[in-house]
Structure 1
Amino acid sequence: MGRNTRKRRTPLATKIVAGAAALAVGGGGLVWANFYASAHEDHGGHNRTRSAGAQVATIDCPDVGQKIRDVPDRARGEVDGELATMDSQITDAYQRLATTRRAQAGDSQFVQNSILGPLKDRRKAIIDRIQLEINRAGGRADDNLDELAGCQGRPADQQQDGGGQNGGGQDDGQNGGDQNQDDNGNGVAGPVADDFIDINDVQPNSRNSRNGLAADGDGGSTGTFTTDCGVNENNLFNSDNLIAAPGVDNGAHHTHDYVGNQDNDAFSSDEDLANADTSCQNQGDKSTYYWPVLRLQDGTQEFDANDQGGGAEGNIGKILKPAQAELKFVGSQQGDVVAMPKFLRIITGDAKSFTNGDANANTSWSCSGFEDRQVTDKYPLCPEGSQVLRTTNFQSCWDGQNIDSANHRDHMAFVQEDGSCPEGFQAVPQLQVRLAYDIPTPTVENGQVQNPYAVDSFPEQLHKPITDHNDFINVMDENLMNEVVDCINRGEDCQ
């Protein structure tokens, strides 16, 4: 698969949001002025205040990218670019939502008429272009994509169903109430107190283990291969996404940590990756491992405090590097694994799970010493001396042909309940990423969380823990990949 070889070597672009009487100093970068102001100010009547408190908190748009299947290779770059533009449209609409609370309080149709209606029209135009690009390249675009143009307003505390289809709330926010409608004084939308849970209140072994270890069976390939690539000591950060939005600046709208390959931006080609330096101790591993950073919302002005992907999009505070990053490959319950192809791309988890639903949510959160207690939709409050653990087990079944797919998911699959791969797929080494953080435990008092930590996210995803995700591009040389496979299939533990 070709990649745009034009290189960008400029800092992240800065952005001042239109209409931002919203900029303030103290939390770093963009502070969503009036985000919940109308819910707490006196507008001359109790009922008026309660109604304002029920306003929608975010924008819920169907994920067009997840629904696209038949995209010819020569159209994928254009389609990925169009999808990235749609993400930017949602960000812009969310920023307008966040900075027009007074207008919304005075006009029950403001959100629909001034934000959601125009957003639907812009999305429809892009969907039309996507269909045209697919058809011009010899594919057959889904005629029903137009149905995904419309978005909804959604209260922050409304639960999403697992199906991921238009689970947003009504535009008038009637199901919202005041619960969780608070910014904790950080000036950004989330996390809120309800996003945290005391690890002692998590039931042991309660998390669905569908995406768990692949090598628990006696008859499988039981070896492991661990690669040590550090914890981003070189401070390699950007808000690009080389897999989902190649060739697009700020395609992620949040900042990523990178270990392994040292040439990661939106314009890196496969050749660039192959020729790059690596932070891995084994120099044969030039793979790219990246994930959204965690931040402590303590008022720290980070390097990206005024940049897109950072403070300009609500990702504020001190970036927390993991104290340890364990990158381990394991085998299959049902038999041997085969080598991954070079430049295989895998995305696991879903950066938009709060609005898409939890069908692709995958990261588990826990605390050291409490590893049998795992949660996906809450951040854990760990006791003193215990580290926050963030664990992701990747898909381990490959279709045997493609290093990527139109929606960046269909070429990979999780194992089935018996540990076998779906028909037509074959087992490859499963990547497991375990990140351990030393984080001061936030305190929750009177419905507010003080000094919370949170994963970077798309602005409209409100820093929910369920949006955590992880990305990988295999750039191991052939000899090392064969060594990984042999070690796992022999049942040995190697590094």
Structure 2
Amino acid sequence: MGRNTRKRRTPPAAKALAAVAALALGGGGLVWANFHASAHEPDQRAWGGTRTKAATARVATVSCPDVGQRLTDVPEPARPGVARELAALDRQITEAYARLAATRDAQAGDPGFVRNAIVGPLGEKRAATIGRIRLGIQRAGGSFDPALEQLAPCTTRSANRTDAGGGRPDGSQRGGIGGQAGNGPVAADFVDITKVAPNVRGGPRRTGNASTGTFTTRCGVNANKNHNTDNVIVAPGVTNGAHHLHDYVGNQKVDAFASDRTLLRGGTSCRDRGDLSSYYWPVLRVQDGTRDFDQNADGGGREGNVGRILTPVQAEIKYVGSPVGKVVAMPRFLRVITGDAKTTTNGPANANAHWSCTGFENRVQLTDRYPICPRGSEVVRSFAFQSCWDGRNTDSANHRTHVAYADPASGACPDGFTAVPQLTMRLVYAVPPPVIRNGQVRNAYAVDGFPEQLHKPATDHDDFISVTRNGLADRIADCLNRGLSCA
């Protein structure tokens, strides 16, 4: 794996707060959506949820700068050690959040408790960890930006009146910040989709050289319950590196210790045995008072991910082409992350979440609200991956700069990048509709996430490792370039 330091285009859904975001749907056609449209308008001082000034502010979560996203220049020999230290930063935040949740009485009696007992010590631990990252990079001959050492201190975010709820066994809210485990979601995270104005419009115009085909790979819905809380892309070699549970389809041997070699021998849930790619995403749970198998496990109940895990009723994995030209085959072992699991504290720069309901997908798409669907309609999560590749690297130090999004207006790749088949995924769920009464939500549903991210919908994300054989990568590109519909 090499590195790429070109400036990455802002992903489409990150522009939701300004106006519109791009989403690939259906037969490869691009549509635009104002993902910020909602029945509730959030205060942008704390992006990610409605914020109203409470009479007495209470701390809701710990907010720490994401060091990993800033690391674009890490020598290859230093990357395993840096990945372990980045995982340690995540673990430190998780531990601090757990202490925050367990000391509400102490916080009420001492205004300085959070600063002195939680946030201050956390900053000291992070400073030491960032120091080890610096040493690892420098020992491998790389350069370290001293500005990264300024990312050690953390802050807190306060709960608001809407957040005050949370913790009852039935999933309704009481005296916390929402959710069955006390870390979200809250009523303001949901919206009746029938009350959201249509916000989807057409995308870039296709040129005569467009690659208009589609290629669908059928890999199932993870009915065999292939789960773990690792993330081999972001935290290789680190057990529970994701701090939340993933569904896996495609390659069946993916965990923190999977290598390119083991992926080639991993077997697949896909009908095309040449598709050994790994497609994985955080599970969706309904917080109806029930518990699942991991209620006492790391990444599960111990980290605020509670409730009944929902298996999709449909999982459509489709590759689509470029509206302005031909595509080249994806390289083997290309790794791509779309979206950001930490948007609650990072902000929307890398957000790429898409939520809707069946029957509404061509009219309404949301990024910072979960939809409440009407009777007969089901919840839909959609992902549109980056479709431009730098032509050299299958990964990058921050796992982002080797790929880019096409320009949302023209459909063209940035200079120096080449169009590859765009991976799109559509997951459909039969979700019992949440009920909101008096500012409280019962039977909420939410994606798994880091505990301090409060289960916000904008934290949704998806991961992909391209592993093909028997000429499948070339067949996908040829299908798209010839304008065919293949499966």
Structure 2 residue 182 is the aligned partner of structure 1 residue 199: no
Deviation at 1:261, TM superposition (A): 0.3
**Aligned match of 1:189 in 169, 183, 190?**
183
Relative distance call for 1:339 and 1:452 in structure 2 (3 A) is same
Residue in structure 1 matched with residue 384 of structure 2 by the alignment: 393
The one-character-per-residue Cα deviations of 1:234-279 (angstroms, maximum 9, x if unpaired) are 2100000010000000000000000000001101111110011100
Equivalences for 1:295-334 in 2 at 5 Å? 295-334=285-324
Helix, strand or coil for the counterpart of 2:317? strand
Quick one: which amino acid aligns to residue 161 of structure 2? D
Structure 2 unmatched runs, 5+ = 3-53, 167-172, 175-179
**Aligned match of 1:228 in 204, 210, 218?**
218
Equivalences for 1:238-253 in 2 at 5 Å? 238-253=228-243
> d(CA) in 1 for partners of 2:319 and 2:240?
30
Structure 2 residue 161 is the aligned partner of structure 1 residue 178: yes
Structure 2 residue 484 is the aligned partner of structure 1 residue 481: no
Relative distance call for 1:214 and 1:426 in structure 2 (3 A) is farther
Residue in structure 2 matched with residue 442 of structure 1 by the alignment: 434
Whether the 8 Å contact between 1:260 and 1:279 is mirrored in structure 2 is yes
Deviation at 1:220, TM superposition (A): 1.0
Helix, strand or coil for the counterpart of 1:155? strand
Residue in structure 2 matched with residue 42 of structure 1 by the alignment: none
Deviation at 1:187, TM superposition (A): 3.5
Residue in structure 1 matched with residue 34 of structure 2 by the alignment: none
Residue in structure 2 matched with residue 90 of structure 1 by the alignment: 93
Deviation at 1:182, TM superposition (A): 1.8
Quick one: which amino acid aligns to residue 268 of structure 1? A
Residue in structure 1 matched with residue 485 of structure 2 by the alignment: 493
Structure 2 residue 47 is the aligned partner of structure 1 residue 56: no
**Aligned match of 1:137 in 136, 140, 148?**
140
Quick one: which amino acid aligns to residue 145 of structure 2? D
**Aligned match of 1:120 in 119, 123, 127?**
123
> d(CA) in 2 for partners of 1:343 and 1:214?
29
Deviation at 1:468, TM superposition (A): 0.2
Residue in structure 2 matched with residue 360 of structure 1 by the alignment: 350
Residue in structure 2 matched with residue 451 of structure 1 by the alignment: 443
Helix, strand or coil for the counterpart of 2:91? helix
**Aligned match of 1:404 in 385, 395, 410?**
395
> d(CA) in 2 for partners of 1:478 and 1:329?
18
Helix, strand or coil for the counterpart of 1:105? helix
Quick one: which amino acid aligns to residue 472 of structure 1? F
Helix, strand or coil for the counterpart of 1:57? strand
> d(CA) in 1 for partners of 2:342 and 2:196?
24
Whether the 8 Å contact between 1:124 and 1:149 is mirrored in structure 2 is yes
Relative distance call for 1:196 and 1:216 in structure 2 (3 A) is farther
Quick one: which amino acid aligns to residue 349 of structure 1? G
TM score, norm. by length of structure 1: 0.83
> d(CA) in 1 for partners of 2:310 and 2:386?
26
Deviation at 1:216, TM superposition (A): 4.8
Whether the 8 Å contact between 2:204 and 2:410 is mirrored in structure 1 is no
The one-character-per-residue Cα deviations of 1:319-359 (angstroms, maximum 9, x if unpaired) are 00110000000011121100111010000000001110011
Quick one: which amino acid aligns to residue 347 of structure 2? G
Quick one: which amino acid aligns to residue 388 of structure 1? V
> Structure 1 stretches (4+) deviating beyond 6 angstroms?
none
Structure 2 residue 109 is the aligned partner of structure 1 residue 109: no
Deviation at 1:215, TM superposition (A): 8.4
Quick one: which amino acid aligns to residue 326 of structure 2? D
Which deviates more, 456-465 or 478-487? Answer: 478-487
> d(CA) in 2 for partners of 1:109 and 1:215?
57
RMSD across aligned positions (CA): 1.5
**Aligned match of 1:272 in 262, 277, 282?**
262
Helix, strand or coil for the counterpart of 1:66? helix
Helix, strand or coil for the counterpart of 2:215? strand
Quick one: which amino acid aligns to residue 198 of structure 1? D
Helix, strand or coil for the counterpart of 1:134? helix
Relative distance call for 1:215 and 1:398 in structure 2 (3 A) is farther
Whether the 8 Å contact between 2:206 and 2:324 is mirrored in structure 1 is no
> d(CA) in 1 for partners of 2:313 and 2:364?
21
> d(CA) in 2 for partners of 1:215 and 1:136?
50
Relative distance call for 1:363 and 1:214 in structure 2 (3 A) is farther
Deviation at 1:217, TM superposition (A): 4.6
> d(CA) in 1 for partners of 2:208 and 2:163?
47
Structure 2 residue 422 is the aligned partner of structure 1 residue 423: no
Whether the 8 Å contact between 1:221 and 1:336 is mirrored in structure 2 is yes
Structure 1 unmatched runs, 5+ = 3-49, 157-176
**Aligned match of 2:155 in 145, 152, 157?**
152
Deviation at 1:483, TM superposition (A): 0.5
Helix, strand or coil for the counterpart of 1:449? strand
Quick one: which amino acid aligns to residue 385 of structure 2? F
Whether the 8 Å contact between 1:331 and 1:488 is mirrored in structure 2 is yes
Deviation at 1:180, TM superposition (A): 1.7
Residue in structure 2 matched with residue 293 of structure 1 by the alignment: 283
> d(CA) in 1 for partners of 2:378 and 2:207?
29
TM score, norm. by length of structure 2: 0.85
Whether the 8 Å contact between 1:236 and 1:258 is mirrored in structure 2 is yes
Deviation at 1:155, TM superposition (A): 1.9
> d(CA) in 2 for partners of 1:320 and 1:217?
41
Residue in structure 2 matched with residue 15 of structure 1 by the alignment: none
> d(CA) in 1 for partners of 2:219 and 2:233?
20
Whether the 8 Å contact between 1:94 and 1:459 is mirrored in structure 2 is yes
Quick one: which amino acid aligns to residue 412 of structure 1? V
> d(CA) in 1 for partners of 2:83 and 2:386?
22
Residue in structure 2 matched with residue 67 of structure 1 by the alignment: 70
